[in-house]
Amino acid sequence: MSEASPILDVQQLSSGYGRSRVLFDVSLKAGRSGGVAVLGRNGAGKTTLLKTLAGELKPMGGSITFDGRDATNEATESRMRRGIGYVPQEHAVFGKLTVRENLRIGALSKRNEGAIDTVLDFFPKLAERLGQQAGTLSGGERKMLAISRALLGKPTLLMLDEPTEGVWVGVIEEIADRLGKLRSEIGIIIVEQHVELALKIADYAYVMDRGEIALEGPADQIRDDPRLLRYLAP
Ligand SMILES: Nc1ncnc2c1ncn2[C@@H]1O[C@H](COP(=O)(O)OP(=O)(O)OP(=O)(O)O)[C@@H](O)[C@H]1O
């Protein structure tokens, strides 16, 4: 990650639901290329962090700067237009619509249906299933479709919430391989239970514990840090 000009600079971010605060003073940066992993046990606040960065939750304090401009209270749609792509943990595809229709919805907002072919080159398995209802896809295919839809928005920063959850091991490798390629072109923030995989994609990692950043550092240092297991233990 280039320290000089991060695409995302989060300072002392607090957030939560109603009156209940879940994130406490989270500071984090992501580069214009490369991967950032956010790790932590269930309930540590990883999804809450991504939702706040996507604009789905209003921050209770702190600041979010995206691509040099303040985004702390910017509407989700505006953030997406400016280049933040978000693949949420669930409900990321329209189950009743076909793969083709899902992709068209992703592309239409940018008037770039031509980009669908590029995305299908990226995940060729989807090309074989264009006419199939998205709700009948396997877990892995559904994740590929959700990632493809986000890519059609031409993000400069892609945030992924557990992209391999519920995915068969053979397909996990495929998704990891594609994300590994993507990270040379755009910034990636990956929340993942599959720690080895996340640290393979990431150059830098943050470990969350009870809504705070408990540990951070280069991915290969975090991998060998004896404190990591403590923060991941249930
Ligand atoms: N809609 C909500 N309303 C109230 N509290 C919530 C809501 N969603 C999450 N929380 C709480 O916020 C805390 C952090 O949850 P979050 O989903 O961010 O954790 P996580 O690290 O992503 O966990 P997981 O790995 O299980 O997805 C938890 O205590 C959770 O119960």
Ligand 1, atom 18, residue with closest C-alpha: 45
Q: Are 232 and 39 in contact (CB under 8 A)?
A: yes
Q: How far is CA 56 from CA 41, 130, 203, in A?
A: 22, 30, 27
CA-proximal residue: ligand 1, atom 16 (nearest): 45
57 lines ligand 1 (CB under 6 A): no
Complete domains list, the chain, with CATH: 8-232 (3.40.50.300)
> What is the rounded average pLDDT for all residues in the chain?
92
Q: Which ipTM was obtained for this model?
A: 0.94
Query: How many angstroms is it from 39 CA to the middle of ligand 1?
Result: 14
**Ligand 1 contact, 22 CB (< 6 A):** yes
Whole-number Å distance, alpha carbon 49 to ligand 1 midpoint, is 10
- Model confidence at 2, in pLDDT bands (50, 70, 90)? very low
Digit-coded pLDDT (tens) for 31-76? 999 999 999 999 999 999 999 999 999 999 999 999 999 999 999 9
Q: Return the amino acid letter for 134.
A: A
